[in-house]
C-alpha cells in the first residue's frame, strides 16, 4: 500500500511538472497535437500507479519522451508557417458575409444546431446579426458581428477615456503580497496605514485589492466557530 502511495506521488509530481512545461492553455484552447499528448500522458501515468509489477521507469521515460516530442512540435509550430498548417490546420469560415457556408460545415462535420449553439455561447442569438463566424484551429468559434450590430464604443461617440490601469492584490488570505507592494512602489508600513484607516487588520483580511482607479476592494475573513 505504501509503495502504491509513493509511486502515485512521484507520478503526480512528474505529470504536474510536464504539464507546466506544456503551458497554461485550457482544454478548449489546445491544438490537436497538445490534446493528443495530454491524453497519452494521462494514460501512461495511470499504468505504473495501478500496476506495482510494472517498473515506474516504464511510465516516467515515455512521459519525458512525449514532453520532448511536444517541445519539438511546438518549435516547428512557431518557426514554420507551413508546418503550422500541417500540425494545427487552418481556420475555416463557417459564415461568410452573413451567409452560412454549407460546404464548410460538411468538411468540418459541423451541424447547423452545433453552429447555433456555438453562436449562443458567444452571446449571439440571431444568425442574421453575424457577418463572419470562423472556426479556429482550437475548435472555438470567433464571431464578427455586422457593423450595425456591434456595441457602441467610446471612440464611436468621440469620448476620451482615461487609460485602464491594472489592479493589484495586496493581501490574500491574510498574507501580504510583498511583490505587488514593490510593483506599486509601496511598503508594508504604507499598507498597514491604509488598512488601519479602514479598520482592517492585514492578518484578518480575506482579500485587499488596490483597484486601477485608486480605490480599494476588501473583505475580512469569516469568523470560524471556536476562534478566539
Mean of all residue pLDDT scores within the chain? 86
- Rounded-to-integer distance, Cα 211 and Cα 118, Å: 34
Residue 97 gets the label, from left (phi > 0), alpha (psi -120 to 50) or beta, of left
Half-sphere exposure of 89 (CA within 13 A, CB side): 14
DSSP 28: G
Model-wide pTM > 0.75: no
> Do residues 130 and 146 touch, judged by C-beta distance below 8 A?
yes
| H or E, element range at 39 | helix 32-50
> Do residues 190 and 182 touch, judged by C-beta distance below 8 A?
no
- Confidence category of residue 227, pLDDT binned at 50, 70, 90: very low
* Unique residue bearing C-alpha cell 454549407: 102
Q: What is the mean pLDDT of residues 95-101?
A: 94
> Do residues 132 and 97 touch, judged by C-beta distance below 8 A?
yes
Q: What is the mean pLDDT of residues 161-177?
A: 90
- Rounded-to-integer distance, Cα 67 and Cα 26, Å: 18
In Å, how far are 33, 116, 129, 139 from 122, measured between CA atoms?
Answer: 25, 10, 12, 14
Tens digit of each residue's pLDDT (9 = 90 or more) over 16-67: 888 777 776 655 567 777 778 888 888 888 877 777 777 888 888 888 888 8
* Unique residue bearing C-alpha cell 504604507: 190
Strands of the chain, DSSP E:
92-96, 99-100, 130-135, 141-145, 168-172, 175-176, 205-210, 216-220
pLDDT higher than 90, residue 101: yes
pLDDT higher than 80, residue 137: yes
Q: What is the mean pLDDT of residues 111-129?
A: 92
* Unique residue bearing C-alpha cell 444546431: 113
Q: What is the mean pLDDT of residues 100-111?
A: 92
Comparing 168 with 67, the larger pLDDT belongs to 168
Q: So what's the pLDDT on residue 28?
A: 57
Domains and CATH numbers, the chain: 2-86 (no CATH), 92-149 (3.30.240.20), 168-220 (3.30.240.20)
Measured in whole angstroms, how far is the alpha carbon of residue 168 from the centre of its chain?
19
- Confidence category of residue 174, pLDDT binned at 50, 70, 90: very high
Comparing 167 with 46, the larger pLDDT belongs to 167
Q: Which of 124, 121, 173, 116 is nearest to 144 (CA)?
A: 124
Across the beta sheet with 130-135, what order do the strands follow? Answer: 99-100, 92-96, 130-135, 141-145
> Do residues 48 and 7 touch, judged by C-beta distance below 8 A?
yes
Tens digit of each residue's pLDDT (9 = 90 or more) over 3-16: 778 888 888 888 88
Q: What is the mean pLDDT of residues 162-184?
A: 92
Q: So what's the pLDDT on residue 37?
A: 84
Q: What percentage of the chain exceeds 70 in pLDDT?
A: 94
**Beta pairing class for 168-172 and 130-135:** unpaired
Amino acid at each position: 500500500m505504501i509503495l502504491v502511495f509513493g509511486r502515485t506521488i512521484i507520478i503526480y509530481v512528474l505529470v504536474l511538472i510536464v504539464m507546466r512545461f506544456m503551458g497554461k492553455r485550457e482544454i478548449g484552447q489546445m491544438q490537436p497535437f497538445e490534446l493528443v499528448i495530454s491524453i497519452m500522458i494521462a494514460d501512461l501515468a495511470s499504468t505504473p500507479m495501478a500496476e506495482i509489477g510494472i517498473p515506474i521507469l516504464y511510465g516516467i521515460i515515455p512521459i519525458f519522451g512525449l514532453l520532448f516530442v511536444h517541445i519539438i512540435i511546438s518549435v516547428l509550430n512557431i518557426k514554420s508557417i507551413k508546418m503550422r498548417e500541417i500540425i494545427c490546420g487552418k481556420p475555416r469560415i463557417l459564415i461568410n458575409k452573413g451567409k452560412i457556408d454549407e460546404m464548410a460545415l460538411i468538411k468540418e462535420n459541423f451541424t447547423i444546431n452545433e453552429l447555433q449553439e456555438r453562436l449562443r455561447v458567444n452571446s449571439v442569438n440571431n444568425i442574421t446579426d453575424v457577418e463572419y463566424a470562423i472556426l479556429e484551429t482550437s475548435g472555438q468559434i470567433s464571431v464578427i458581428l455586422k457593423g450595425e450590430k456591434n456595441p457602441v464604443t467610446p471612440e464611436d461617440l468621440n469620448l476620451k477615456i482615461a487609460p485602464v490601469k491594472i489592479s493589484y492584490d495586496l493581501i490574500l488570505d491574510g498574507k501580504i503580497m510583498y511583490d505587488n507592494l514593490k510593483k506599486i512602489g509601496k511598503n508594508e508600513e504604507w499598507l498597514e496605514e491604509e488598512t488601519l484607516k479602514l479598520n482592517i487588520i492585514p492578518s484578518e483580511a480575506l482579500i485587499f485589492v488596490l483597484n486601477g482607479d485608486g480605490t480599494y476592494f476588501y473583505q475580512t475573513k469569516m469568523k470560524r466557530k471556536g476562534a478566539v
